[in-house]
Amino acid sequence: MSLHNKTAIITGGSRGIGAGIAIELARLGANILLTYISSAQKASEIVSQITSSGGAAIAVQADCMDPASPQKIVSAATAAFGARIDIVVNNAGAGDELYLADCTLEHFDKVFYTNVRFPMFLVKECLPYLPRGGRVVNVSSVCARQGWPMQTAYSASKACMESFAKTWAAELGHTYGITVNAVNPGPVATDMWNATPVDAVPGMQNYIDITPAAPRVGEVDDVVQVVAFLCEERSRWVTGSTVCANGGACFV
């Protein structure tokens, strides 16, 4: 129970990697607030799984495009678990894939409001409640460091998440006594992976086949365990880093 009685916010925590993180941090003793946009049933199922195992969890519907969402999330967390937020995992993301020729302002706004503006202002909103020893973990992607077709906006937004980790680590470390890191998964067996456009599959399969750790798609738990470590006390000397969670598909 290395996270006993700590409060953790996990955005996009109703499915995929986010759900796995929520369940694992709850297993380690954390009180969980997970956010979702439209998958209320899935969010309810994750909360039920956590509470039936003796943990504490609530789900909050929060549209990442809505500038009021960060304050809504923080208010819900402090009302449920007290005026302390120990862990913020910025996992929610928009992964729409478009060739540059097909990109629109609406596409750009959706990706950047969701993947960049929302986590930035969520962490800002959490600052008054972050205790010394707090943790922020940003979920990036191998796309932040590698060139992938159809990922103009997405790749740039994930590079921002890694930049946030470095900037916030330098800016907030002494003042707030927290660490800030990023993880960069490659392909992971989630709903987003299953929605990969058909014309992108051959290139993805080749990428998977040459992954150094094993020629397979990543599993949710492969990423979850890295995030969990970064949330624990034993990671206290790791900050400003992007930690690989991709089987060596992207060396940092």
As annotated, the active-site residues are: 140-141, 154, 158
User: Distance from first CA to last CA of the chain, Å, rounded?
Assistant: 31
- Which residues neighbour 187 within 8 Å (Cβ) at sequence distance 6 or greater? 193, 204, 207, 208, 217, 218, 249
Quick one: angle between helices 118-126 and 69-81, nearest 10?
40
Distance CA 130, CA 136 (A): 10
> Which among 68, 64, 71, 76 is positioned nearest to 7, based on CA atoms?
76
> Which among 27, 16, 84 is positioned nearest to 57, based on CA atoms?
27
Which neighbouring-strand residues pair with 8?
32, 87
| Cβ(113)–Cβ(65) below 8 Å | yes
Quick one: angle between helices 118-126 and 152-176, nearest 10?
10
| Cβ(218)–Cβ(158) below 8 Å | no
Rounded to 5°, the CA angle 85-155-198 comes to: 115
| Cβ(125)–Cβ(68) below 8 Å | no
